[in-house]
Amino acid sequence: MSMTNNKTHCFICNTEKITYSCEGCSKRFCLTDLTEHQQLLKEELDHIINDYDQFKQRINEQKQNPQNLQSNSLIKQINQWEIDSIEIIQQRAQNCREIVIKTSETFIYDIEKKFNDLCEQIKQIHKENEFNETNLNYLTNELIDITQELNNPSHISIQRDSQSFINEISIISSRKPRFNKWKQNAITVAPENEKGHESNQLNNPIGIFIDEKKNIFIADTSNHRIIQLKYNAKKGKIIAGGNGRGNRTDQLNLPTNVIVDEQNHSIIIADFKNRRVIQWMNQNQQTLIKNIDCRGLAMDKSGFLYVSNTTENEVRRWKMGEYNNEGILVAGGNGKGHQLNQLSFPGFIFVDEHQSVYVSDEDNHRVMKWSKDATEGTIVAGGNGQGRHLNQLYHPQGVIVDDLGQIYVADEGNNRVMRWCEGKEKGEIIVGNNGGNQLNQLYYPMGLAFDDVGNLYVADCRNDRIQKFEIIL
């Protein structure tokens, strides 16, 4: 009977010997190599114990010095955030200081300019030695207004963002442009019926004016009359003309514009084909200026009357009550042309508080601004030839300027109303832009006006109606 062979190969020496299995790795070793294998395991255990001891030591150290937890990496990040944030705050503060200083300088400059304008008016009145209570009251009130404005500047303030962890500040200026918008579908405020000559009808209205009570005055051109439409009224009232086309004192001939002189409660009319500017007060007519191809009218706060002359291609100004002279040239007057000191068929005009004159220079397809006492104007809208691109106009008509210097133009040939910011190359379309008779359309828009809340009124000439585009608040 032979002995059983229980020998196998050792994993280490690969010699056939009696071997023993390791329960950990399931490999078989001879006795010699098994002893060595166990020694290696013991050494590895000692290393692990040593690592554990070191880790325990680190825990004890961190417990004694918690600021070293997770090393200094996060602390360094937090410190850097603190430095960066302080720099940002300091830079923001410096930017705000610079804005305040620059805005204040501009504010003082504007106040000084208003004051100098008043001084010039005082010198002019004193030199001419012709003045009355109205002039004195105006000068007194203007001085009170600019004094209050200087003592209580409200054009700038600080706004804090309380939602931020670090309260941010920014400068909020009341002079920042407000880009208002209007509903695109208009309300027809006049007439009730289609084109005609009844009191609730119109025929090619051109000029419009809105007074302090929101009454609308309409130059109903082809009906040769002026219509007053009281606020929220359904029918208008004939307050001048309406007695057929003619040159009698009770007649008009294609009136193109009308303004209201709030001081003496009269209306002033550009009686175009009769070549005269007339005043109607309590049903009495007075001719103010004769032999003038008048198209546009405007009046400034001092009561000076401005008239555009299409034949002479100029705008002149007359002092209140002194219409027996040729007036003072304020724009154009250098013959028909497209140079900066010329106009070509000037129409509607607007005068701002600094007595700058804005003129719709119709045949040059542009709007010009002539500052007070300037010898030439600057182009503030259009001026790039006839066209419908955003940098062009096509026979511009009504022009008005808001208190932020934004210029609104009735772009007649393009059946739209545009807004231009002075100095910008392009304008933007406010309403219209698609000729027709729907509520979102215009057909040869002419006169423009705003009421006291910013609603826009347009004399929609070829549609024989006045459209009201409500402002979106």
Length of the chain: 473
* 125 three-class SS: helix
Q: What is the pLDDT of residue 309?
A: 97
Report residue 85: phi and psi, to 5°. Answer: -65, -40
Which one-letter amino acid corresponds to residue 151?
N
Q: What is the pLDDT of residue 374?
A: 93
First vs last C-alpha separation in the chain: 115
181-472: CATH number: 2.120.10.30
Cα distances (Å, whole numbers) of residue 441 to 330, 360, 454, 462, 463:
35, 22, 20, 11, 10
* 139 three-class SS: helix
Q: What is the pLDDT of residue 364?
A: 97
Q: What is the pLDDT of residue 66?
A: 58
Q: What's the rounded Cα separation, in Å, for the pair 66 and 57?
A: 14
Q: What is the pLDDT of residue 330?
A: 97
Contact 442, 431 (CB under 8 A): yes
Q: What is the pLDDT of residue 154?
A: 64
Q: What is the pLDDT of residue 82?
A: 82
Q: What letter does residue 340 receive in the DSSP assignment?
A: T
What are the mean pLDDT values of the chain's consecutive 10-residue runs (473 residues total)? 66 88 87 89 88 81 63 72 83 81 78 81 77 76 82 71 58 59 93 81 96 93 95 87 93 97 90 96 88 96 94 95 92 96 97 95 97 94 95 97 92 97 91 92 97 94 95 85
Q: What's the rounded Cα separation, in Å, for the pair 314 and 342?
A: 8
